[in-house]
Structures are given as structure tokens and as C-alpha cells.
Amino acid sequence: MPRTELSQLGEFGLIERIKSKTTHRNPNTLKGIGDDAAVITTSGDFYQLVSTDMLVENIHFDLSFHPLQHLGYKSVAVNVSDIAAMNGIAEQITVSLAISNRFSVEAIDALYQGIFAACEDYSVDLVGGDTTSSTSGLIISITVIGRAKPAQIAYRNGAKKGDILCVTGDLGAAYIGLQILQREKVEFLANPNMQPQLEGKAYTVGRQLKPKARTDIVHELAELQVKPTSMIDISDGLASEVIHLATQSQVGATLFEDKLPIDKETYDIAINDFKLIPSVCAMNGGEDYELLFTIDQKDYEKIKTHDEISFIGYMTEDKEINLVSSGGQKVPITAQGWNHF
């Protein structure tokens, strides 16, 4: 691969390069990159949703196994996921980067290739950002702007007793993917001639490196006329997110271990390679970016056969948050989320 130094382009050259590759897909994006601020029209029928996420090298990602293209995709997907978790539609993002001269123009191009691929998949417009130098690692900070009709917004605090707890897709895969990548890294450092053993692990590794935001579910719930009573995306692990929904809604929750959706590859690798209990990976793993939401019982009929939605429990009047194990034992759910400090 040829290497072009960032200094050859300079900050403005880099911004111009990014701008030239940008496409706008949303009619409310009036002005994107190139002025002091982006200009977005608003409509009285909608509320605006804004969220931001920062990803720091060696805290949130490890470039020794995370290809820049996937990292770009993931940085956008996790932001879009936050808007989806409000039952909204993401439309614009800004991307701010702190980059060291360790990175070449080609490396930044790879990062943006992933960013643009995600913009296409989720139909969002890159409308601005900031570029600065860093003396050490790479920092990516993305802000996403979206919208939703006021009555459609799903807050964390709307769950009622008797509501059914639903989760999309499957859980624990991204955590297992990370365990595999970290193990391969350790083996590679010990013996650089080793080829990574990733056969039969594509799903879990892919879920870690290139997660998807469940914007599809937001659209489908709207079509089925199901408005979640509360919703959150699973970034820190199911346990931690259930606690958020229950405590903010001032109700309790009961979950059933044997209802947790776990993919077969995740299940097998957890047990065979890491001697981990698959349901523990699902509860505490994190980075799945699936949606956890509650619905009123009257809406159950409308989605009960949806093959991407699992019904894992219900909300209760008391404030207890419990997991009922496969053996029928009640275990209190506790979670810290990720603690980087």
C-alpha cells in the first residue's frame, strides 16, 4: 500500500477530500461540510433527537485487530443505534477526529470508507466535524441528529407493570467476538508466525468488529403500529439495560434465562473455548447494539411471530429485578456496565 503523509494534504486538504466523497440523502440537510455550521430544516411535526459518542483508541477499540474500515462503520452504527433506541430516525452526523501522524491519508480514507458505508446503510448525511492532531492515539467523536414524532418517542421511563420485555436479534456474540480477538492477539504477540484461528468464528467476530444498528426494527414497529412503552439499546449488556428501564420507569422486572436469544456459534464458543456460561455472556457482555424494549400486552399479538424479536420477561409492580434461571431459581440482577476507569 502506498503511504501518503497527512502533512502533504494538511487539515483543509483532508476536509476537502472528505467533503468531495460526501453524498446527502435527506432533503432536510440544506448545508453540510464547508461553512461554520451545517444547516438543517426542522418541521413542526417532529422533535429533534441528538446524541453523541466518543471512541478512544485502546479504551474502546484496539487497532491491532480492528480494521479502520470496520471501525468507521461501527462508530456511526453505535450513534445511529442511540437514535433508534428513542424510536427515531437518524438523519445527520458530524465526525470529529483527533489523529496522530502515525496515520497516513490512506488510513483515514479507510476509516471514512466505513463511515460512508454506514451513512449509506442508515441513510444519514455527514454534515460536518472537526479535525485536530493527537500526540498519541486516535479519537473519534460522532454526534448524530435524528427526529421522531413526539408521540412516537420511546423514553427509558415509560414501562408499566405487566408490560412485556422484548429484545431484538441475539445477545452475547459481540462479547465472545472480543474474547476471540484478544486471545488471537496474545497468541500472535507470542508467536508472530501464527495465523489467526478464526474459522467458524465469523459471526461472533463480525458482531464485535462491525455491529449493526436496528433501524429495521424501528421501521417495522411503526408499520405494525406498535409503540414501545420504553426502549434502550444494548451497549453495556442486557443486565445493565434492564436495570435502566426498570429503575427509570419505577417498576421491577422478571427475566427468564431460557428465553434469552443466543446464537449457536456464540453458545458453542462460550462453552468450548472459554468455559463461559452463555447466558452470563448475554446478560453482561455488551456491545450487541440490539434494542431492548417493553410493549403493552395488547400489542403482543401484532409482533408475537416476528422472528427477530424475543420475549424475555415482563415488568412487575414491586421494584425487584430478577432472572429466573433455567432451573427455576430467582436470582437478583446486578450490573455495573463497563467501567473503563
Half-sphere exposure (CA, 13 Å, Cβ side) for 269? 26
What residues from 176 to 215 belong to the interface with Mg ion (CB under 5 A)? Answer: none
Instruction: Tell me which stretch binds ligand ADP (CB under 6 A): 30-38, 141-149, 175-183, 219-227.
Output: 30-38
Half-sphere exposure (CA, 13 Å, Cβ side) for 58? 3
Radius of gyration, CA atoms only, the chain: 21
Quote the DSSP letter at residue 321.
Answer: E
Q: Check residue 35 for interaction with ligand ADP (CB under 6 A).
A: yes
Question: Which of these, 164, 210, 191, 173, lies nearest to 315 by C-alpha position?
Answer: 164
Q: Check residue 181 for interaction with ligand ADP (CB under 6 A).
A: no
Strands 230-233 and 139-148: unpaired
Instruction: Name residues whose C-beta falls within 8 Å of residue 323's C-beta, 6 or more positions apart in sequence.
Output: 254, 255, 256, 257, 283, 330, 331, 332, 333
- The answer to whether the beta carbons of residues 166 and 310 sit under 8 Å apart is yes
- By a kind-dependent CB cut-off of 5 to 8 A, residue 36 interacts, out of Mg ion, ligand ADP, none, with ligand ADP
What residues from 270 to 289 belong to the interface with Mg ion (CB under 5 A)? Answer: none
* Residue 150: all three cell numbers together: 413526539
Q: Check residue 5 for interaction with Mg ion (CB under 5 A).
A: no
Q: Check residue 20 for interaction with ligand ADP (CB under 6 A).
A: no
Length of the chain measured in residues:
341
- The answer to whether the beta carbons of residues 204 and 173 sit under 8 Å apart is yes
- By a kind-dependent CB cut-off of 5 to 8 A, residue 278 interacts, out of Mg ion, ligand ADP, none, with none
User: In the complex with Mg ion, which residue's Cβ is closer, 112 or 175?
Assistant: 112
- By a kind-dependent CB cut-off of 5 to 8 A, residue 318 interacts, out of ligand ADP, Mg ion, none, with none
Q: Check residue 130 for interaction with ligand ADP (CB under 6 A).
A: yes
Among 33, 167, 260, 283, binds ligand ADP (CB under 6 A): 33
Q: Check residue 36 for interaction with ligand ADP (CB under 6 A).
A: yes
Among 114, 128, 228, 313, binds ligand ADP (CB under 6 A): 128
Instruction: Tell me which stretch binds ligand ADP (CB under 6 A): 124-132, 193-201, 206-214, 236-244.
Output: 124-132
Instruction: Name residues whose C-beta falls within 8 Å of residue 262's C-beta, 6 or more positions apart in sequence.
Output: 170, 171, 172, 278, 279, 281, 282
Q: Check residue 129 for interaction with ligand ADP (CB under 6 A).
A: yes
Residue type, 81: S
What residues from 72 to 131 belong to the interface with Mg ion (CB under 5 A)? Answer: 130
Distance of closest approach, residue 121 Cβ to ligand ADP, in angstroms: 18
- By a kind-dependent CB cut-off of 5 to 8 A, residue 89 interacts, out of Mg ion, ligand ADP, none, with none
Strands 125-133 and 89-99: parallel
Residues forming the site for ligand ADP (CB under 6 A): 15, 18, 33-36, 95, 97, 126, 128-131
Residues forming the site for Mg ion (CB under 5 A): 130
